[in-house]
Amino acid sequence: MAVRSLGYWGFEVSDRSAWQQLLVDQMGLMRAENGSDGAYVYRIDRYQSRLRVYEGAADDIAFIGWEVSGPAELEAMAQALQQGGYNVQPGDAALAKARCAEGVIVVDDPDGVRTEIFWGPEIAARAFVSSLVPSGFVGAPNGAGHHVLLVRDREKTLAFYRDILGLKLSDYIRSEDPDRPQLLVTFMHANPRHHSLAFAEIPFQPKRKMQHFALQVASMSDVGLAYDRILAAGTPVAMTLGHHPNCDSFSFYGRTPSGLDFEFSWGTHEIDDATWVPKTYPQLSDWGHKVELDLIEPA
């Protein structure tokens, strides 16, 4: 019993119109109908809802949705969470409708990130089409992409996502850059996508719970074209074009209007659990990814 993929993100932001320009006009997402709860809803594939944006002051992640295969798996997950000492709340029909799902439960992870586990995603009536990303985004069946969380207790976080949600270890990066604090970043997968989740324990209280979220496209050229659009629009670049050695992805990082970052990437390892061996890498990037902005802002 485990989650099968990363389903969706919900963000609370102070400037939804600026997010709209970033997501649609620069990154190439497709705007869907507003949610029944007033959310601005965005698509990257046939799922009706992958990214939801709400008006508010937090300027951070509001909730993260993980998909399971069906109602029996959702009930089993609820029981596992309760046995693990977590307070699980069943989502009502209104919440399920808002999330474009058949059923939802809600729980906080060890750092207070609202975690929604759902089954039965709504499929959009029309195929995803974006003139800005002709190759398309890499979504279903392996999920929306990935994200990186900033955590207080690595072991508690690992136990929650590994022992209860059922994610598996992909690998580690232990960054020993002399100009920055040492970080051990843990990467975890729910399916063949190299990682749907990564997290790092940091020695101070961060301003935000999420460091970045990431979308993957099917063509290297679409990363370059997006980079040109970001530069032309004057959107801040957090890290320039570069390559990650652990997952073999090519990407750049930009900064959202809320101050958290996004990664726009192409290419990644696909994991076969029968043969995969987790490793520890000494650096986040083996070329490029020049850091242009502070990546973690203190509270």
Are 205 and 88 found together in one domain? no
Residue 259 token pair: 């101050």
CA distances from 292 to 165, 233, 252, 253, 298 (A): 35, 17, 11, 10, 17
Are 114 and 152 found together in one domain? no
Fill in the amino acid letter for 34.
N
pLDDT tens track for 27-80: 999 999 999 999 999 999 999 999 999 999 999 999 999 999 999 999 999 999
Measure the CA–CA gap between 196 and 138, rounded to whole angstroms.
12
- Residue 183: pLDDT band (50, 70, 90) is confident
Is pTM, for the whole model, over 0.85? yes
Residue 208 lies in a domain: yes
- Residue 180: pLDDT band (50, 70, 90) is low
C-beta neighbour count of 258 within 10 angstroms = 21
Over the chain, what is the mean pLDDT? 96
Are 190 and 283 found together in one domain? yes
Residue 221 lies in a domain: yes
Provide the pLDDT for residue 223: 98
Q: What is the mean pLDDT of residues 187-206?
A: 95
CB 197 within 8 A of CB 147: yes
Domain containing 24 equals 5-119
Residue 210 token pair: 């999420």
Are 267 and 153 found together in one domain? yes
Are 109 and 155 found together in one domain? no
Are 91 and 9 found together in one domain? yes
Fill in the amino acid letter for 22.
L
Q: What is the mean pLDDT of residues 149-173?
A: 97
Of 119, 136, 168, which closes a domain? 119
DSSP state of 206: B
Measure the CA–CA gap between 29 and 40, rounded to whole angstroms.
12
Q: Is the pLDDT of residue 175 over 90?
A: no
Residue 140 lies in a domain: no
Residue 283 lies in a domain: yes
Are 63 and 152 found together in one domain? no
Residue 206 lies in a domain: yes
- Residue 1: pLDDT band (50, 70, 90) is confident
Are 114 and 220 found together in one domain? no
Residue 293 lies in a domain: no
| Residue among 109, 279, 282, 262 nearest 194 (CA) | 279
CB 271 within 8 A of CB 231: no
Are 162 and 235 found together in one domain? yes
Q: What is the mean pLDDT of residues 12-29?
A: 98
pLDDT tens track for 71-116: 999 999 999 999 999 999 999 999 999 999 999 999 999 999 999 9
Are 181 and 271 found together in one domain? yes
Residue 42 lies in a domain: yes
Fill in the amino acid letter for 237.
V
CB 174 within 8 A of CB 280: yes
**What CATH number should be reported for the domain holding residue 106?**
3.10.180.10
Are 100 and 210 found together in one domain? no
CA torsion, points 295, 39, 110, 47, in degrees to nearest 10? -90
Of 101, 119, 137, which closes a domain? 119
Q: Is the pLDDT of residue 179 over 70?
A: no
Instruction: Give the neighbor-by-neighbor strand order of the sheet with 287-288.
Output: 280-281, 168-175, 183-189, 197-201, 146-151, 210-217, 261-266, 249-255, 237-244, 287-288
pLDDT tens track for 253-272: 999 999 999 999 999 999 99
Residue 137 lies in a domain: no
Are 163 and 241 found together in one domain? yes
Please count the structural domains in the chain. Answer: 2
* Adjacent-strand bridge partners of 214: 146, 263
Q: Is the pLDDT of residue 182 over 80?
A: no
Provide the pLDDT for residue 96: 97
Which distant-in-sequence residues (6+ apart) come within 8 Å of 230 by Cβ?
26, 237, 252, 254, 264
Measure the CA–CA gap between 255 and 261, rounded to whole angstroms.
4
